[in-house]
């Protein structure tokens, strides 16, 4: 049950953080054209860390299931009106890297938290 709640929380957090970061970036930008989307790796890393903190043993699975709807939405929404193959491939590659960063962050944090709990919460001296 806890895993399901964390996955739902991760899905909600990924979309909410994306909306929030887009609002912040677009409100702070004047009229220049934005070429990079630095918020996508940050969103994936943040969701991965949160999931890793909440679920230690199955952090990779929870992060992957949390970020999957977000990743599919990014790919489809970015390419909805464009049908060029190169744009689809580029978008899939960028989103896959962000997805991998999020799952990796969850695995790293979940593993560190599990080792810390196994030692009894003591800090290494």
Residue in the structure block whose two tokens are 């979309």:
15
Give the pLDDT confidence score for residue 36 in this predicted structure.
Answer: 55
Give the pLDDT confidence score for residue 22 in this predicted structure.
Answer: 83
Residues 6+ apart with CB under 8 A from 44: 14, 67, 98, 99, 101, 102, 105
Q: Which residue has the higher pLDDT, 89 or 28?
A: 89
Residues 47-54 have a mean pLDDT of 94
3-state helix, strand, coil in the chain (%, to 5): 80, 0, 20
Q: Is the pLDDT of residue 125 over 50?
A: no
Q: Kindly state the DSSP code that residue 58 receives in the 8-state scheme.
A: T
CA 38/CA 33 separation, integer angstroms: 14
Render pLDDT for 1-41 as a digit per residue (tens, 0 to 9).
Answer: 899 999 999 999 999 999 998 888 777 765 454 555 678 89
pLDDT band at 96 (very low <50, low <70, confident <90, very high): very high
CA 78/CA 92 separation, integer angstroms: 10
* Average per-residue pLDDT for the chain: 86
């Amino acid at each position: 049950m806890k895993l399901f709640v964390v996955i739902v929380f991760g899905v909600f957090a990924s979309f909410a953080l994306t909306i929030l970061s887009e609002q912040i970036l677009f409100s702070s930008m004047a009229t220049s054209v934005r070429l990079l989307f630095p918020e996508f790796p940050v969103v994936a890393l943040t969701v991965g860390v949160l999931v890793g903190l909440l679920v230690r043993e199955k952090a990779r699975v929870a992060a992957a299931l949390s970020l999957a709807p977000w990743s599919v939405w990014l790919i489809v929404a970015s390419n909805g009106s464009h049908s060029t193959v190169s744009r689809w491939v580029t978008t899939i590659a960028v989103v896959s890297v962000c997805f991998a960063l999020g799952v990796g962050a969850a695995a790293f944090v979940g593993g560190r938290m599990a080792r810390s709990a196994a030692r009894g919460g003591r800090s290494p001296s």
